[in-house]
Structure 1
Amino acid sequence: MPEKRKLEDTLTLDLVIATRENTQNLGYFVDDTVVNPGLGIPFYKTVLEGANYEHADWKDQACVRTSQINWREDHSVSWLERHMEMTQGFIVIGKNPGLFVLGEPTHDRDDLDEKGRAKPDPDRVRAYIIPAGMGLILKKGTWHDFPVSCGPPLSAFIINTEEVVEALATMPKPAPMNHGDCFKLRLSEHFDFTIKFPDPRPFVQRHGLVPSPVAMPLMGKEGYGTDMVRQEVKPGWAGGKKVFVVPVVNVEVFVPGSGGPSIQPHLQSIPEVANRGWRDYGNRRGLQRLCAMFKELGIPATAVVNSEAAKLEHVAKALKESGWELGAHGLNNSSGAAKLSRGEEEAYFKQTLDDLQQSLGARPKTWLTPGFSVTERTPEIAVQSGIEAFLDFVDDDVPYYLSHESGKRTLCLPYCMETNDFSCVLTKHFDGRQYAQAIEDHVRQLAKEDGEKVVCLGMHTFVAGTPGRVLALTEALGRLQQVPGVCFATTADVCVAIQKRMPERMNRDCTRKWTSKSMTA
């Protein structure tokens, strides 16, 4: 720990799951294992009675009470206290875990001077998650704050002394204490940096420590990911156009034996032949058919591609010859990011983009997560990975920026679920003409409304690319080309249009300008 930090610096504590091993310097871990048997009550036949904890006592005046602790948005650690004459115990009851900020004792540290022994050592302070049904009896001198909710309400037994309870109850407002056995510090008076802990909700959800359904949202305050905020694109960016229509062709592969979209769901024999063959047909024939359709119409398109699909020779050849913008769609459509750690998800992005660049000769700057299997980190990692158009959100008809606190941002182009071929064909069972008509009606209505709109038309090679749908789709798209104000575009085209017309002060954080050379094969 550096001796001095800038005033604005923040020390963010690690989140760890409390165990007997990593809390041994702090206290006595309580779970369903008796590790100190020894009383030996002779008539107990089915009970293993544990002995008293040797150094745990409450000055012969133990006070046992319950607390219910609710969520708080502030993740700052403002206070730490310790007790030298007695210990405290915290037992988590109910179904939900608790967060405990704990620091190792400093009073007996030979490597610290007298001043250092009178305050916590930030290097040895961590944020421990204690699962439901477990607890910790603190050793004397252990620095601690009051337990914190991990999202859902936390219930706990607290073993204390009347002395400490009465001292706290008589205080009209929080203040430093040196009363009896309660020594409490306001950290800002001793350190020139702020101590915080991360939002624990994603952590406890990821480690399966909260019951389902999730009690609190994981996607940040605005629903776009941790530390991501929405920034509106100001009107006037479309250059007189009303609706930018972006055909988004999903080029996907699935891990054998893992299932996937089905045209006849009842055919689930192993090995799977019918539904797998139907999906593979899309890459062998449907992709080429869509390429020919868009070329005939003179309509640009964006392909979002599984990097494993791009390794197939017939897929790579078709995409390189298409003239489309080439975007990224993860490794394959059987595995997404939902169960990955942060490091694994960062590696997932890098491998996808590296492999697509190697297979197709261009590094994508558009991203759609397979199966919408996002984490609370996905938008941030996309930004850090150089993604400039993000298609994972479906909540609007207008583009908007997703900005991270680091200053980097990406343009979100809403991916329309109503016109997606999965929604129309596999869910609503539209025939080819009903599917094409749904797209046409959607775009015509947007063109009648005020304001500038974007609609991303999600198409899959094995659904939209079949002969029974391409004919009606070709006719509908051809009619839309004649609708005043309708403009077909790629995601790159939309980004260029917005960047050209947004004020300079709104553009200074952009990572790179879009160029057609970097976006198409």
Structure 2
Amino acid sequence: MNPTQNRPAVASHQRFAYQAITQRPDFTWPGGRRLAVYLGFNVEHFAFGEGLGACLAPASPQPDVLNYMWREYGNRVGVWRCLELLEDLQLPAGVLINTALYDHCPEVVAACVARGDELIGHGHTNAERQGSMDEAAEAQLLADCRERMARESGTAPLGWLSPWISESPLTPDLLAEAGYQYTLNWCHDDQPVQVRTRSGARLWSIPYPQELNDIPMIMGRHMDARDFAQMIMDQFDEMLAQTRHPRHPQSLVMGIALHPYIMGQPYRLKHLRRALQHLARSRDDIWFTTPGAICSAAEALLAQPG
């Protein structure tokens, strides 16, 4: 007798069922491409003297001037250097914005809109977590950010990434009910996955990286920018090879998560340029895109007969 048979089932999120990536219907992205690549460019604003924020040095009693000003470098300098690089390489971006940027530095958001980048909801400020909010407050946050972005930038966001990837048990439900079509919070796959919601409205999970992400790699694991750039190139080379497997090629999504206060530092930008140049040399073989376009492509595939 198996002694585990009488044990209760392990708690589950019930949002989607398990499905091995090797046992799914085959498909291709627009243009017959197999690998979709996007840049998740996180542009954030933090409260001074309170709240959360990534730290370069051990946190000090508030006002923590060192860590706050290090992050603010991203909005004053780093973001512009990164946008110049993307412009030079003619690469699109999915720009994840705090709506507090409209009050603090609206010209940053305007520059992304002028480039044609996709704007993605990312809370009001990364000084707070939405997972600690009650249902009414979280629903209000999602609605307020969507309305502000539509009013200020002309288009309501299709997608959402929670500050600090912080969710309540109801976040996917509230996202669908607020009109969002996809979430970037779940890093469990290399393909889009449908997420169940209480209303029955469809919400997509678009793959967002927690490995190919400068905060956990550079700030968390203290990885050098040179190694992080190599990591981007290795990920790309291997995923491109997976899409071309002779027996079971797969269409995949590769995201790269960047923050201008980290990768906009000059000595890191040099290595980011090298990595993105490596990817850009294969632009004829891959789909350089945005999370919203991936979501729309997934919807179109779902609508195909058969």
| TM-score range normalised by the length of the shorter chain | 0.7 to 0.9
Return the alpha-carbon distance in structure 2 between the equivalents of residues 220 and 429 of structure 1: 32
The one of 419, 441, 444 equivalent to 2:212 is: 419
Contact 2:177 2:199 in 1 (8 A): no
Contact 2:173 2:198 in 1 (8 A): no
Greater strand share, 1 or 2? 1
**Mapped pair 1:325 → 2:124:** no
Contact 2:52 2:126 in 1 (8 A): no
Contact 2:192 2:295 in 1 (8 A): no
Contact 2:35 2:240 in 1 (8 A): yes
**Mapped pair 1:404 → 2:204:** no
Return the alpha-carbon distance in structure 2 between the equivalents of residues 476 and 365 of structure 1: 28
Q: Find the counterpart in structure 2 of residue 502 from structure 1.
A: 302
Alignment of 1:33-432 (within 5 A): 217=11, 220-221=13-14, 224=15, 234-239=25-30, 240-256=32-48, 257-265=50-58, 268-312=60-104, 313-432=106-225
Contact 1:398 1:413 in 2 (8 A): yes
How far off is 1:230 after superposition? 7.6
Alignment of 1:6-17 (within 5 A): none
Return the alpha-carbon distance in structure 1 between the equivalents of residues 216 and 115 of structure 2: 26
How far off is 1:405 after superposition? 5.0
How far off is 1:310 after superposition? 2.8
- Paired amino acid for 1:303: V
Return the alpha-carbon distance in structure 2 between the equivalents of residues 71 and 274 of structure 1: 51
The one of 290, 293, 296 equivalent to 1:490 is: 290
Q: Secondary structure at the match of 1:311?
A: helix
Return the alpha-carbon distance in structure 2 between the equivalents of residues 401 and 230 of structure 1: 12
Return the alpha-carbon distance in structure 2 between the equivalents of residues 288 and 234 of structure 1: 41
- Paired amino acid for 2:93: A
Contact 2:51 2:128 in 1 (8 A): no
CA distance 1:237–1:387, change in 2 (3 Å): farther
Q: Which moved more, 1:390-399 or 1:235-244?
A: 235-244
CA distance 1:337–1:229, change in 2 (3 Å): farther
**Mapped pair 1:464 → 2:263:** yes
Contact 2:93 2:290 in 1 (8 A): yes
- Paired amino acid for 2:272: L
CA distance 1:308–1:325, change in 2 (3 Å): same
- Paired amino acid for 1:247: L
Q: Secondary structure at the match of 1:415?
A: coil
TM-score (norm: length of structure 1): 0.52
Contact 1:335 1:370 in 2 (8 A): yes
1:39-92 Cα deviation digits (max 9, x unpaired): xxxxxxxxxxxxxxxxxxxxxxxxxxxxxxx9999xxxxxxxxxxxxxxxxxxx
How far off is 1:472 after superposition? 1.6
Pairwise CA RMSD of aligned residues?
2.5
Point out the structure with max Rg over C-alpha: 1
1:21-54 Cα deviation digits (max 9, x unpaired): xxxxxxxxxxxxxxxxxxxxxxxxxxxxxxxxxx
Return the alpha-carbon distance in structure 1 between the equivalents of residues 118 and 134 of structure 2: 30
How far off is 1:229 after superposition? 6.1
How far off is 1:351 after superposition? 1.1
Q: Find the counterpart in structure 1 of residue 245 from structure 2.
A: none
- Paired amino acid for 1:292: E
Return the alpha-carbon distance in structure 2 between the equivalents of residues 323 and 498 of structure 1: 21
Return the alpha-carbon distance in structure 2 between the equivalents of residues 405 and 271 of structure 1: 42
Q: Secondary structure at the match of 2:45?
A: coil
- Paired amino acid for 2:125: N
Return the alpha-carbon distance in structure 1 between the equivalents of residues 292 and 298 of structure 2: 10
CA distance 1:405–1:504, change in 2 (3 Å): farther
Q: Which moved more, 1:477-486 or 1:466-475?
A: 477-486
Contact 1:229 1:403 in 2 (8 A): no
CA distance 1:503–1:397, change in 2 (3 Å): same
CA distance 1:271–1:503, change in 2 (3 Å): closer
1:168-218 Cα deviation digits (max 9, x unpaired): xxxxxxxxxxxxxxxxxxxxxxxxxxxxxxxxxxxxxxxxxxxxxxxx74x
Return the alpha-carbon distance in structure 2 between the equivalents of residues 365 and 381 of structure 1: 14
Q: Which moved more, 1:386-395 or 1:312-321?
A: 312-321
How far off is 1:415 after superposition? 1.0
How far off is 1:398 after superposition? 1.4
Task: Provide structure 2 residue ranges, at least 5 long, that are not aligned to the other structure.
Answer: 1-5, 243-248
CA distance 1:261–1:398, change in 2 (3 Å): same
How far off is 1:260 after superposition? 1.3
Return the alpha-carbon distance in structure 2 between the equivalents of residues 275 and 363 of structure 1: 32
How far off is 1:332 after superposition? 0.8
Q: Find the counterpart in structure 2 of residue 475 from structure 1.
A: 274
Q: Find the counterpart in structure 2 of residue 454 from structure 1.
A: 253
Return the alpha-carbon distance in structure 2 between the equivalents of residues 229 and 404 of structure 1: 13
1:407-456 Cα deviation digits (max 9, x unpaired): 31122111111110012211222222211111111111111113111022
Q: Secondary structure at the match of 1:463?
A: helix
CA distance 1:264–1:490, change in 2 (3 Å): same
Greater helix share, 1 or 2? 2
How far off is 1:362 after superposition? 1.8
Contact 1:413 1:456 in 2 (8 A): no
How far off is 1:505 after superposition? 6.2
Greater relative contact order (Cα < 8 A, sep 6+): 2
CA distance 1:480–1:389, change in 2 (3 Å): same
Identity of aligned residues (%): 26
